Amino acid sequence: MAIIIKNITKSFTKNDNSGQLAILNDISLEISNQEFISFVGPSGCGKSTLLRIIAGLLTPESGSVEVDGVPVKKPESDRMMVFQDYVLFPWQTVEKNIAMGLKMAGRDKEYIDRKVKWAIEMIGLQGFEKSYPHQLSGGMKQRVAIARALVMNPKILLMDEPFGALDSYTKMKLQSELVQLCAKKEFTTCLVTHDSEEAVFLSDRIVVFTGSPARIQEIISVDLPRPRDRVSKEFIAVRDHILSLTTSGMTDHI
Ligand SMILES: Nc1ncnc2c1ncn2[C@@H]1O[C@H](COP(=O)(O)OP(=O)(O)OP(=O)(O)O)[C@@H](O)[C@H]1O
Ligand SMILES: [Mg+2]
């Protein structure tokens, strides 16, 4: 197993300081090497909190996360995170943004140049090496954010709604590119998404959470061959099953 999540419990202090708000309640999950797993569930149920705990950005009250048998205590470059809002350095060019983590890790110039060139080709941004983030589209910025994570050769790629801010055409294009990247089987991916179609298109397994505090409601294995056909009967059946789980209990008051 690449990641073993054992009995994680997490709460936060309520905004009015009136006590603790339980967010995650006894979450356990095992994620295999090179697996693509997605977390879906209602807004505010604790998906990002769980991802941050895996990243080592947050500490749980009880329970543990192990990566290849080693307990997670803090962020490390073997676990890279990609956020919805890109978080690029606006004063740095594309190539400098991608090189940042490698520089901080003390890599030599020859290694950095080679890795950055590889990453730029991989994400199809040749010709934009010297561009600044404000000169790029949303999709291009997110490609840079993904490249910046991948040059670190992570064992685990953690993505929190990475395509949430993109138009549907760009989103589908990036999803297809991610399928190709993942086919190389170099890392394990945990994705948080609101988009059940995205989850079915990308994932080996989909963890459906209920809130709150978050509990695992169901884990769905998606055994369809890739690249997946979004309009096939089988694809739509899985997508609709997730939709029915995540929207159950919702009532329309129109
Ligand atoms: N640092 C914090 N301090 C206090 N409360 C927090 C903190 N971070 C998150 N929360 C609360 O924890 C709950 C879960 O938040 P989280 O961001 O994990 O949800 P989510 O499932 O990712 O939601 P969304 O789908 O809207 O992104 C929310 O009620 C949120 O207000
Ligand atoms: Mg979130």
The pLDDT value given to residue 18: 85
The pLDDT value given to residue 222: 98
Strand partners, 205: 37, 221
- Nearest protein CA to atom 7 of ligand 1, as residue: 12
Mean pLDDT throughout 238-253?
82
Is this prediction's pTM over 0.85? Answer: yes
Cβ burial, residue 90 (10 Å; 0-12/13-18/19+): exposed
Task: Report how far residue 50's alpha carbon sits from residue 9's, in angstroms, rounded to the nearest whole number.
Answer: 10
Closest ligand 1 atom number to CA of residue 13:
4
Helix (H/G/I), strand (E/B), else coil: 189: strand
Task: Report how far residue 74's alpha carbon sits from residue 85's, in angstroms, rounded to the nearest whole number.
Answer: 22
Task: Report how far residue 229's alpha carbon sits from residue 249's, in angstroms, rounded to the nearest whole number.
Answer: 29
Task: Report how far residue 158's alpha carbon sits from residue 8's, in angstroms, rounded to the nearest whole number.
Answer: 18
- What is the DSSP secondary-structure string of 116-136? HHHHHHHTT-TT-TT--GGGS
Closest ligand 1 atom number to CA of residue 211:
21
Task: Report how far residue 232's alpha carbon sits from residue 88's, in angstroms, rounded to the nearest whole number.
Answer: 37
Better-predicted residue by pLDDT, 185 or 157: 157
- Nearest protein CA to atom 31 of ligand 1, as residue: 44
- Nearest protein CA to atom 24 of ligand 1, as residue: 43
- Provide, for the chain, the percentages of residues in helix, strand and coil under a 3-state DSSP scheme, each rounded to the nearest 5: 35, 25, 40
pLDDT of 99 strictly over 70: yes
Give the environment of ion ligand 2: residues with CB less than 5 A: 48
Q: Give the number of C-alpha atoms closer than 13 A to the C-alpha of residue 180, restricted to the C-beta side.
A: 9
- pLDDT tens digits, residue range 17-37? 888 999 999 999 999 999 999
Give residue 169 CA to ligand 1 midpoint distance, Å: 29
- pLDDT tens digits, residue range 41-84? 999 999 999 999 999 999 999 999 999 999 999 999 999 999 88
Mean pLDDT throughout 123-132?
94
Query: Own/partner pairs for 24-29, CB < 8 Å, 24+ apart?
Result: 24/49, 24/50, 24/53, 24/60, 24/213, 24/214, 25/213, 25/214, 25/215, 26/63, 26/215, 27/63, 27/214, 27/215, 27/216, 28/63, 29/3, 29/5, 29/207, 29/216, 29/219
Task: Decide whether any atom of ligand 1 lies within 6 Å of the 45 Cβ.
Answer: yes
Helix (H/G/I), strand (E/B), else coil: 203: coil
Task: Decide whether any atom of ligand 1 lies within 6 Å of the 14 Cβ.
Answer: no
Percent of the chain residues past pLDDT 70, beyond the cut: 98
Task: Report how far residue 192's alpha carbon sits from residue 39's, in angstroms, rounded to the nearest whole number.
Answer: 5
From the CA of 44, which ligand is nearest? 1
- pLDDT tens digits, residue range 169-211? 889 999 999 999 899 888 999 999 999 999 999 999 999 999 8
What is 1-78+157-162+188-254's CATH superfamily?
Answer: P-loop containing nucleotide triphosphate hydrolases (3.40.50.300)
Closest ligand 1 atom number to CA of residue 52:
18
- Nearest protein CA to atom 6 of ligand 1, as residue: 12
For the chain, what is the mean pLDDT? 93
The pLDDT value given to residue 249: 63
Give residue 201 CA to ligand 1 midpoint distance, Å: 26
